[in-house]
Structure 1
Amino acid sequence: MPALIFDCDGVLADTEQYGHLPAFNQTFADFGVPVQWSVDEYAEKVKIGGGKERMRSILTPSLAETLGLQDADAADRAVLAWHQRKTEVYKGLVASGVMPPRPGIARIVQEAHDAGWTLAVASTSAEPAVRAVLQHAVGDDLAASFSVFAGDIVPAKKPAPDIYLLALRELGVDPQDALVVEDSANGLRAAAGAGLRTLVTVSGFTRGEDFGGAALVVSSLGDPGREQAEVLADPYGVGLSGTVTLATLQTLLALPTTHETETP
C-alpha cells in the first residue's frame, strides 16, 4: 500500500507563528532569559531544524556569560530544561484551539485512510507536541492510525534526510510508494535526499522559499466550498481544480522521483 507522510509544523496546522513563537517567548520569560523573538526574527529561526537547536542559537558568548552557562554541560542542561517547559506551554496552546488545522488536512487524511494508505508524520519537533497537533488536526480516531517519527530519534535533523529514511525503514515502505507533504525548503531537501516525491503546501513563513524539485507546490490542500488551493508551481502539469484530492496524490505518486530524472 502507498504511504502518505506529513511534516507537522506548517503542514498539519499553522503552528509556527501562533504556537511555537509564543511558547518560546513565554519560556524565555519564565527562565529569566532576556530574549523575546519578533515575528521577523523568528522567520529566520525557523530555518534552524529543531526547537532545542533554535534555543541554543541565542547563546552568544555574552549571553552565556550573563546566564552563567559558559560550561557546555551547564548549557546543555539549561537548553533541555527550557525545551521541556516550552513543549508544555506549546501543548497548552494546541489544546486551547488557537492553531486551526490547515485547510484540507482532515479531509485528505480521511480519504487516504479509507483507501488503505499508510499514514505517518515525520517531524523535527518534540514527539508530545507533534502528537498534540496531530490529534487536534484530524481527531483522536484518525490520529491513532498514524505512525509518528519525531524529535531526537535521528542524528541529524532536516534538511538532512535522516527522519525520512528512518520512517521508510520502520514503515517497510519503498521510496517509490511514498509521498511527502512538506511546507519548507528544508523539509523538501530532506525528503528529496531520501528519494521521495514531495507535495509542498506553503505556510506563512515559507511562501518565498525555493521549492525547486517539488512535484507540486500549492497554497494549501484546499477544501470544497471553502478555501481553494492556489497552484504556485506545477512542473509536471498535474493540474488542480481548487482542491488536492486522493486522485491528485495518486498522480503525484506515479511521477518520477528526483533521483530518476532532473526536474523539468
Structure 2
Amino acid sequence: MSALVYDCDGVLADTERHGHLPAFNATFEEFGLPVRWSDAEYARKVKVGGGKERMKTLLTPDFVAAAGLPADPAALDGEVARWHRRKTEIYTGIIRGGAIPARPGVRRIAEAAAAAGWTLAVASTSAEPAVRSVLELAMGPELASRFAVFAGDVVRRKKPAPDIYAYAVRTLGLDPSAVVAIEDSRNGMLAALGAGLACAVTTSAYTGEEDFAGASLVVTSFGDPPPRETVTRVLHDPLGVHPGPWVELADLAAVLSAGPPPPPPWQELT
C-alpha cells in the first residue's frame, strides 16, 4: 500500500512567517517577556524543531533574570508550557481566520491519492491542535478526516531526528519503501530520509536556499492547473521524474518506483 505523508508548516500552508511568528510575538507580549523576534531572527529559529524548543532558546541566564523567571528547571519548564499553550491558541485563531491560503497543489494531490487508495498522514513537530487547524484549512473537513495525524510531543526527539516518521510508519503498518514524505525544510528531509522514506521537497518562505541533497525531487511548489494556475519550477530532479507545469500524483508514484536517489558524493546527510 502506497502512502503520502505531509509535513504541516511550510508544506500544507506557508504558515511560519504569517502564522507562527506573529503568534510567538503576541504571546511574548501577553506574558510581558522582553523579546520580539524579527523576521530575520525567526528565519534562524525555524531550524529548531518544535515550538517549545524554540521558546527554550531564549532561556539564557540573562534572559531568565531580566524576565523575572524562576531558576528552578522544573518551574521554568512549566512556564514554557504555559507560553506554548497560549501561543497555540493564538496561532489556531490566525489559521481559522482564513488569512493564510493553502499551498498550491497539496489538496489536489491528496484528493488523487485518496481516490487511488493511498494512505494519508501528517507528521509534524508542531502541536496537534495547530496541525489539525492547518490540515482542515488546506484539505477541508471531509478530506482532512481521511488523514492520520502524528504531531507535537508524540515522540521525544523532534526533526531532524527520524522519530516522528518512524512512529507514523510503524503505527500505520506501512512499508517504508512505499511511503513518500513531503517536506519543505532540510531538517524535515533529514528526518524522512533517516526513517528510510523517499522525500519530495516543496520549498517555502524560509527554506529556498537550504541544501536538499538526498531528496528525490525538489520543486518550488506542487502547482495547480487553471483556474488556480500556479506553475511549479523544478529545482532538483535526480531521478529524472520530469514533472510538467504542476506535479501530479503519478510523479510521486514515479519517485517510489525509482527507489532512493543516488547519495551525494561530496557530503554527508547529517
TM-score with structure 2 length normalisation?
0.95
The aligned amino acid for 2:141 is D
Which residue of 1 is the match for residue 268 of structure 2?
none
Give the equivalent residue in structure 2 for 1:256: 259
Number of residue pairs matched?
262
CA distance in 1, matches of 2:160, 2:236: 21
Percentage identity across paired residues of the two chains: 56
State whether structure 2 residue 240 is matched by structure 1 residue 237.
Answer: yes
Offset at residue 263 of structure 1 (A): 4.6
Give the CA deviation at 1:236.
1.4
Residue 129 of structure 1 deviates from its aligned partner by 0.3
The question of 1:17 aligning with 2:20 is answered no
Cα deviation per residue 1:106-139 (whole Å; 9 max; x = unaligned)? 1111111111100000000000000000001000
Q: Secondary structure at the match of 1:152?
A: helix
- Aligned partner letter, 1:160: A
**Equivalent-residue separation in structure 1 for 2:156 and 2:187 (angstroms):** 16
Q: Name the structure 2 match of 1:222.
A: 223
Pair 1:162 & 2:163 matched: yes
CA-CA distance at 1:70 after TM superposition: 1.6
For structure 2, which runs of at least 5 residues remain unmatched after alignment? 266-270
CA distance in 2, matches of 1:243, 1:59: 44
2:184 paired residue number = 183
Q: Paired residue for 2:91?
A: 90
Map 1:1-264 to 2 at 5 A. 1-66=1-66, 67-225=68-226, 226-257=229-260, 262-263=263-264
The amino acid of 1:35's aligned partner reads V
**Partner-residue secondary structure (3-state), 2:180:** strand
Deviation for aligned residue 1:240? 1.5
Mapped to 2, the partners of 1:241 and 1:78 lie a distance apart of 49
CA positional deviation for 1:92 = 0.2
Shift of 1:262: 2.8
Deviation at 1:235, TM superposition (A): 1.0
Unaligned runs of 5+ in 1: none
CA–CA distance in 2 between the matches of 1:196 and 1:214?
Answer: 10
TM-score by length of 1: 0.97
Output the amino acid matched with 2:187: N
- 2:158 and 2:260 mapped to 1: Cα distance? 22
Counterpart AA for 1:244: V
Which residue identity is paired with 1:193? Answer: G
CA distance in 2 between partners of 1:49 and 1:254 (Å): 30
Q: Tell me the alpha carbon deviations over residues 182-205 of structure 1, each in whole angstroms, 9 at most, x when there is no partner.
A: 000000000000011000000010
Secondary structure at 2:258 match in 1: coil
SS in structure 2 at match of 1:220? coil
- SS at 2:19's partner residue? helix
> What's the CA shift for 1:22?
0.2
For the residue of structure 2 that corresponds to 1:99, the secondary structure is: coil
RMSD: 1.0
